[in-house]
Structure 1
Amino acid sequence: MKISERLEQLPVSRFHYVLLITAGLGWMFDSMDTGIVSFVLPVLMKEWHLSPEQVGNIGSIGLLGMAIGAIIAGTIADRIGRKKVFAFTLLTYSIATGLCGLSWNLTSLMAFRFIVGFGLGGQLPVAVTLVSEFSPVKHRGKFLVLLESFWAFGWLLAAIVSYLIIPKFGWPIAFFIGFLPALYILFLWRSIPESPRYLESQGRINEAEAIVVKIERASNVTTNPNITGKASESKEPQLRTPTDQAKFKELFSPILARRTVFLWLLWFGIVFSYYGIFTWLPSLLALKGFSLTKSFSYVIIMTLAQIPGYFSAAYFVDKIGRKPTLALYVLGTAITAYFFGQGTTAAVILTVGSLMSFFNLGAWGILYTYTPELYPTHARATGSGWAAGFGRIGGILAPIIVGEMIGKFHLGTQTVFLLFALVLVAVVLDVLILGEETKGRSLEQLASE
């Protein structure tokens, strides 16, 4: 029995939950940093007298870093391993976040935010690749959505820190708190092993075997001595090559081209809407006439709604499948985004905004489940990184477009959220037309079809 088959057939054990929590905490710190800058922006608008266009540029420069980081880190992770890149990217964005607290003007803040974005963007596709390669087939969807659910806790932590810290101690302290995840790297390095699938694809059979045996013992599973241990017997398509350029070309091979186009469009639309909405959310609430403290407290409530959104998606993604669940949650986001833009009272904004968070972050969980499933092991991090990197283009454009719509063209939030609703409807069509169902199929089956 091959290493990949043994991993697929393992029962869910303490090891899987420790891996999920360890990777999830890194994910949470990633989210906390993204959230902190969203809460800092409305303060900087007043303190530094920034225009809406300049605020949009701050959001977009971070997304530019995320795009480049996702592509580079994903490619490197297929060369040197998932674990090393995961640790390096966490250290990068933590240190850069602390430096943001030392920013003295707009230019310095944008420079630091670019570095932060590079680390953030690099970590996410690598983390989801790592968890997907350890998860048993029957529970893979659930585990990947639960991994993404840590994003909600990071945003909630950012909202609480910002609510308590910024009004009393100023915005730099919020960034200094964002440096603390750098200390987590020591625990992470001891707790997360390298992916045996990655090691097997590199011909490092003995290392892969040692890790799988350790997991089997921890799971009270008797090791099967009849192991082929031959990478050449893998069922993945024989397209392997050591060059990064060839791996990129493989993403558009006859086997993978449709999947790549589907994922790139999917990522673009979801990232465009998410960062357009949530990077600007505290500022948009302030523009609707709510005080800064009110805006922060409303965002905390909306963030809480993300948690059941993730958990419900985690339930449905393995019950009814990736494709119908994703289409449903994206459509729900489109409808609620439209009505959020029309809202004028606190009750309407809180209700519809909470539903928007519920559906949007549930869709994100399914997105991170879908992406690594559609690529073979030797190109999984590369494919995931390029999909995320292309998607970040949408994230770069969204804050700028919102800034231009509000500052230059003096358009209201109704028009802004109508735009997001239309983009999300296009994403639903992408899922229904180009998406394929992956529920219940092993990573090796998906790679060979």
Structure 2
Amino acid sequence: MSETVFMEDLPLRKFHFRVVLAGGGGQFSDGFILGIIGIAVSIAAKPMHLDAMWLGLIAAAALAGIFLGSICTGPFADRFGRRGIFAYDMIAFAAISAAQYFVTAPWQLLVFRVALGFILGADYAVGKSLVVEYLPRRFRGSMTSMLAVCWGSGYVLSYYIGYLIQSFNPEGWRLMLAVSGIPALLILPLRLGIPESPMWLLKRKREKDAAAIVRETFGSNVVMDNSPAARETTQHTGMSSLFSRGMRRNTFVGCVFFTCQVIPYFALGTFSPRILQALHVGNGFMAAMVYNALLICGTLVGVAIIDRIPRRSFLVTAFYASAAALAALALVNGSAAFTIAAFGVFACILSASTTLEPVYTAELFPTELRATGAGFVIACSRIGSASATFLLPLAVQHIGIKASLLFCVGTLVVGGVICQMLAPETRNKKLAEVANGNEAATRSDGSYYNSTSSAQASD
């Protein structure tokens, strides 16, 4: 008879790669639509009569939609389950992507971009929660960080595809926007075969359903963790629970680290051709392609080290190092080669730290609040990134590129200081053991029990 093993202590199996790939498809689609808009609006600006205001609005529209989608669907997924949204949201994404081909006015494109962002916001909150809840704890960082690689791949590939389309059709911005729906359709069959999260079912007191899924997916010798921390749930699981005594610190840390990462990432990445041209780099589009290739290199570095060093150390070091690289870019009047090199170092460091976004966000919250917490953190980050993306063209126009870059430097420094002071460590712990910043879980009657003594770090 096979030895009984907990689901979180399993070695990696084919299903784990499958669920990561299914979740990664949504991340790839997200990265693609957020990346392609930079080159598409640069081409569409003249025929669509887009001034700086419209450029900022359209570039930020999907980010605003992600805010709405993540904050609205997170509580829904925690109450009614992850699988329904996870399985079918890519159909709507593909349809709206195709509809962008037929826009005739800026406001129409703005509406479609907000709608796409809403769907992706839902997928952010639900997909990351479902993926994390299936993965073994020893591999949770490296496997979940593959979502960031998928996102970065979509973001970078969009530039190459956009550049290719432009080379064949200088007015091909409509096609650039429409092809973003293709990855969503390709990933749909894989998503339809992923069952509901057993951890979520256990929290909803559906132990038999959870056990059945675990048996069918992993085998008869695999069981759920039946400890008090895994079974107990809070009495109230709405948005207000994120600001309770046991959760407010983690909620704050999640919002700060995610927001301070994505403000410079999106603001500088979306308009990288224009920024590099403003820094006197001759071929802005080609230099932006180099920049985006280095983003992928950074995510691969992040995957390689994420389970080898503490989460907190990774966060803090990346914030300070990327701030230093960007400060050098803003303050040193160097050659075009120096500008590209400094921008590339910044891209590598910052994109390496983005591999923490899917796993660390999920680890900050218990199962019954995971989608709600992830959705709220993502929503807060998108307020910052949407505002920065909207304001950057105006800032460059009115205060100059150097001052605009220094604002991004300040954002990174703030993120580093706050994470150094408050960020909890979560690496290699069971999800039930990292339910809040004090490493305690909250009982339904409001009392607390400490689970630190039972934590088994698996290095």
Q: Could you state the TM-score of these two structures normalised by the residue count of structure 1?
A: 0.90
> 8 Å contact 2:98–2:179 — kept in the other structure?
yes
Q: Does 1:31 align with 2:31?
A: yes
Cα deviation, 1:255-282, whole Å, max 9, x if unaligned, reads: 1111111111222222222221111212
Structure that is richer in helix per residue: 1
Q: Does 1:444 align with 2:432?
A: yes
Partner letter of residue 291 of structure 2?
M
> 8 Å contact 2:26–2:120 — kept in the other structure?
no
Aligned match for 1:431, one of 394, 419, 422:
419
Go from structure 1 to structure 2 and tell me whether the alpha carbon gap of 1:355 and 1:137 turns closer, same or farther (over 3 Å shift): same
Partner letter of residue 261 of structure 1?
F
Aligned match for 1:259, one of 240, 244, 250:
250
Q: Does 1:63 align with 2:63?
A: yes
> 8 Å contact 2:259–2:382 — kept in the other structure?
yes
SS in 2 for 1:331: helix
> 8 Å contact 2:74–2:126 — kept in the other structure?
yes
Go from structure 1 to structure 2 and tell me whether the alpha carbon gap of 1:236 and 1:39 turns closer, same or farther (over 3 Å shift): farther
Distance in 2 of aligned mates of 1:331 and 1:102: 44
Moved more, 192-201 or 109-118: 192-201
Distance in 1 of aligned mates of 2:24 and 2:188: 15
Matches within 5 A, 1:355-366: 355-366=345-356
Match of 1:310 in 2: 299
Distance in 1 of aligned mates of 2:224 and 2:252: 35
SS in 2 for 1:66: helix
> 8 Å contact 1:271–1:395 — kept in the other structure?
yes
Q: Does 1:375 align with 2:377?
A: no
Distance in 2 of aligned mates of 1:41 and 1:344: 29
Distance in 2 of aligned mates of 1:62 and 1:11: 38
Q: CA deviation at 1:67?
A: 0.4
Q: CA deviation at 1:140?
A: 0.8
Matches within 5 A, 1:48-87: 48-87=48-87
Moved more, 65-74 or 198-207: 198-207
Go from structure 1 to structure 2 and tell me whether the alpha carbon gap of 1:400 and 1:26 turns closer, same or farther (over 3 Å shift): closer
Distance in 2 of aligned mates of 1:105 and 1:193: 41
Distance in 2 of aligned mates of 1:444 and 1:59: 39
Matches within 5 A, 1:245-324: 246-288=237-279, 294-324=283-313
Partner letter of residue 258 of structure 1?
R
Moved more, 382-391 or 27-36: 27-36
Moved more, 419-428 or 277-286: 277-286
* Count of aligned pairs between the two proteins: 431
**Structural RMSD (CA):** 2.3
Q: CA deviation at 1:215?
A: 3.0
Distance in 2 of aligned mates of 1:429 and 1:168: 47
Q: CA deviation at 1:344?
A: 5.7
Partner letter of residue 404 of structure 2?
V
Go from structure 1 to structure 2 and tell me whether the alpha carbon gap of 1:358 and 1:54 turns closer, same or farther (over 3 Å shift): same
Cα deviation, 1:93-125, whole Å, max 9, x if unaligned, reads: 332222222211111111111101111222123
Match of 2:159 in 1: 159
Note the residue ranges of structure 2 that are not aligned, 5 or more in a row: 441-459
Q: Could you state the TM-score of these two structures normalised by the residue count of structure 2?
A: 0.88
Go from structure 1 to structure 2 and tell me whether the alpha carbon gap of 1:228 and 1:280 turns closer, same or farther (over 3 Å shift): closer
Match of 2:448 in 1: none
Q: CA deviation at 1:183?
A: 2.0
Q: Does 1:181 align with 2:172?
A: no
Match of 2:234 in 1: 239
Matches within 5 A, 1:381-420: 381-407=371-397, 409=398, 411-420=399-408
Go from structure 1 to structure 2 and tell me whether the alpha carbon gap of 1:48 and 1:289 turns closer, same or farther (over 3 Å shift): farther
Distance in 2 of aligned mates of 1:18 and 1:46: 43
Partner letter of residue 314 of structure 2?
T
Moved more, 140-149 or 376-385: 140-149
Partner letter of residue 240 of structure 1?
Q
Cα deviation, 1:208-247, whole Å, max 9, x if unaligned, reads: 2222113323xxxx616xx6897x9444654134xxxx52
Match of 1:127 in 2: 127
> 8 Å contact 1:313–1:325 — kept in the other structure?
no
Match of 1:354 in 2: 344
Cα deviation, 1:127-177, whole Å, max 9, x if unaligned, reads: 211111111111111111122111121122201110110242211111121
> 8 Å contact 1:262–1:430 — kept in the other structure?
yes
SS in 2 for 1:101: helix
Q: CA deviation at 1:339?
A: 2.8
Partner letter of residue 316 of structure 2?
A
Cα deviation, 1:338-397, whole Å, max 9, x if unaligned, reads: 233456643123212221221111111112221111111111000100011011110121
Distance in 1 of aligned mates of 2:334 and 2:38: 22
Match of 1:204 in 2: 206
Match of 1:40 in 2: 40
> 8 Å contact 1:156–1:303 — kept in the other structure?
yes
Q: CA deviation at 1:287?
A: 3.8
> 8 Å contact 1:56–1:400 — kept in the other structure?
yes
Identity of aligned residues (%): 26
Partner letter of residue 379 of structure 1?
L
Q: CA deviation at 1:299?
A: 2.1
SS in 2 for 1:305: helix
Match of 1:110 in 2: 110
> 8 Å contact 1:87–1:185 — kept in the other structure?
no
Distance in 2 of aligned mates of 1:65 and 1:148: 20
Note the residue ranges of structure 1 that are not aligned, 5 or more in a row: none
> 8 Å contact 1:35–1:154 — kept in the other structure?
yes
Partner letter of residue 251 of structure 1?
L
SS in 2 for 1:318: coil
Distance in 2 of aligned mates of 1:13 and 1:75: 30
Distance in 2 of aligned mates of 1:58 and 1:360: 24
SS in 2 for 1:319: coil
SS in 2 for 1:50: coil
Q: CA deviation at 1:250?
A: 1.0
Match of 1:90 in 2: 90
Distance in 2 of aligned mates of 1:35 and 1:207: 40
Distance in 2 of aligned mates of 1:363 and 1:56: 26
Partner letter of residue 223 of structure 1?
N
Distance in 1 of aligned mates of 2:121 and 2:355: 16
Cα deviation, 1:179-218, whole Å, max 9, x if unaligned, reads: 223423541333422211112222232332222113323x
